[in-house]
């Protein structure tokens, strides 16, 4: 009797109905590989490794990480100003802070901020803060501005190096965002790009108002320059 020869395994049907010579490998291996690639891509993106350049497009410059929240606070200070006495936000004819007798006077030179809008690279000037028996007087003098453009300046509670001045100084913290609880100066640049104005407040700031920040009237999140006061 002849030895029985093992029968060859039956061919597996192919996708087109034909036979194939070997069984197909399970598809879960391909799925697992895809999942691993996706996970690696997600990890790379989360670590700042996006090679498409989108990550760098949203990188903020130093000192401007809170510019969005600061601009919201700046804009809030504009509410309720309609109809306010112009002298509450500046009087070019008032006695400048550095000319007030028997006052404690501090001054600061403006330095440019990284949030300034285009065309403001030549802005420079000085701010003065005087405290006296009648309260506080602040004077600002600037050059290099856009002729005819309107600007605003505010006393701030933080130094220029600290979040570009941070929040506005307030006599009563959490109170009104308008004068007299805050100190605002509004002014317009002349034909030569220069501007000077002074504002008075009946209260003393003490050593809590440490900087003055200036920005365009219509673009309050574009802080141009900041001056520190040293007490």
Instruction: Write down the pLDDT at residue 48.
Output: 33
Q: 150 in a domain, yes or no?
A: yes
| 103 lies in the same domain as 179 | yes
Q: Give the separation between CA 116 and CA 156, rounded to whole angstroms.
A: 17
Instruction: Write down the pLDDT at residue 220.
Output: 86
Backbone CA torsion sign across 168, 173, 174, 180: negative
* Structural domain boundaries, residue 213: 67-228
Name the nearest CA neighbour of 142 among 112, 100, 179.
112
Q: What is the pLDDT of residues 58-70, one digit of tens each?
A: 233 333 344 444 5
- CB neighbourhood size of 61 (10 A): 10
CATH number of residue 112's parent domain: 2.60.40.200
Does pLDDT of 148 surpass 50?
yes
| 83 lies in the same domain as 143 | yes
Q: 11 in a domain, yes or no?
A: no
Q: What is the pLDDT of residues 106-146, one digit of tens each?
A: 999 999 999 999 999 999 999 999 999 999 999 999 999 99
| 206 lies in the same domain as 95 | yes
Does pLDDT of 228 surpass 80?
yes
Mean pLDDT, the chain, integer: 77
Instruction: Write down the pLDDT at residue 33.
Output: 44
Instruction: Write down the pLDDT at residue 122.
Output: 98
| 123 lies in the same domain as 41 | no
Q: 45 in a domain, yes or no?
A: yes
Q: 192 in a domain, yes or no?
A: yes
Q: What's the total number of domains in the chain?
A: 2
| 47 lies in the same domain as 136 | no
Q: 175 in a domain, yes or no?
A: yes
Q: What is the pLDDT of residues 167-220, one digit of tens each?
A: 999 999 999 999 999 999 999 999 999 999 999 999 999 999 999 999 999 998
| 189 lies in the same domain as 154 | yes
| 134 lies in the same domain as 30 | no
Q: Give the separation between CA 39 and CA 54, rounded to whole angstroms.
A: 19
Q: Give the separation between CA 212 and CA 97, rounded to whole angstroms.
A: 14
Q: 111 in a domain, yes or no?
A: yes
| 125 lies in the same domain as 221 | yes
- Name, of 7-11, 36-40, 94-98, the range with top average pLDDT: 94-98
Q: Which of 70-79, 85-94, 186-195 has the lowest mean pLDDT?
A: 70-79
Which residues, listed in sequence order, are joined to residue 201 by a DSSP beta bridge?
Answer: 136
What is the arithmetic mean of pLDDT over 136-165?
Answer: 98
What is the arithmetic mean of pLDDT over 16-21?
Answer: 48
Q: 168 in a domain, yes or no?
A: yes
Does pLDDT of 93 surpass 70?
yes
| 80 lies in the same domain as 183 | yes
What is the arithmetic mean of pLDDT over 22-39?
Answer: 45
**Would the pTM of this model clear 0.85, i.e. be above it?**
no
Q: 139 in a domain, yes or no?
A: yes
């Amino acid at each position: 009797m002849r030895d029985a020869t093992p029968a060859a395994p039956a061919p597996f049907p192919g996708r087109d109905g034909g036979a194939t010579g070997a069984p197909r490998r399970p598809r879960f291996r391909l799925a697992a590989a895809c999942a691993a690639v996706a996970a690696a891509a997600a990890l790379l993106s989360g670590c700042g490794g996006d090679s498409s350049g989108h990550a760098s497009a949203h990188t903020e410059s130093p000192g401007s990480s809170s510019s969005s929240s600061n601009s919201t606070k700046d804009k809030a200070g504009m509410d309720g100003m309609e109809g306010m006495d112009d002298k509450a936000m500046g009087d070019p004819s008032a006695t400048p802070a550095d000319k007030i007798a028997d006052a404690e006077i501090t001054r600061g030179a403006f330095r440019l901020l990284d949030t300034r809008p285009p065309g403001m690279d030549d802005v420079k000037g000085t701010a003065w803060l005087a405290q006296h028996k009648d309260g506080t007087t602040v004077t600002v003098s600037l050059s290099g501005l856009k002729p005819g453009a309107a600007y605003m300046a505010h006393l701030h509670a933080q130094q220029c190096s600290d979040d570009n001045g941070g929040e506005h100084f307030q006599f009563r913290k959490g109170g009104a965002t308008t004068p007299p609880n805050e100190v605002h100066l509004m002014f317009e640049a002349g034909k030569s790009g220069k501007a000077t104005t002074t504002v008075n407040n009946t209260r003393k700031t003490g050593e809590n108002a440490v900087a003055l920040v200036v920005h365009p009237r219509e673009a309050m999140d574009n802080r141009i320059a900041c001056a520190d006061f040293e007490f």
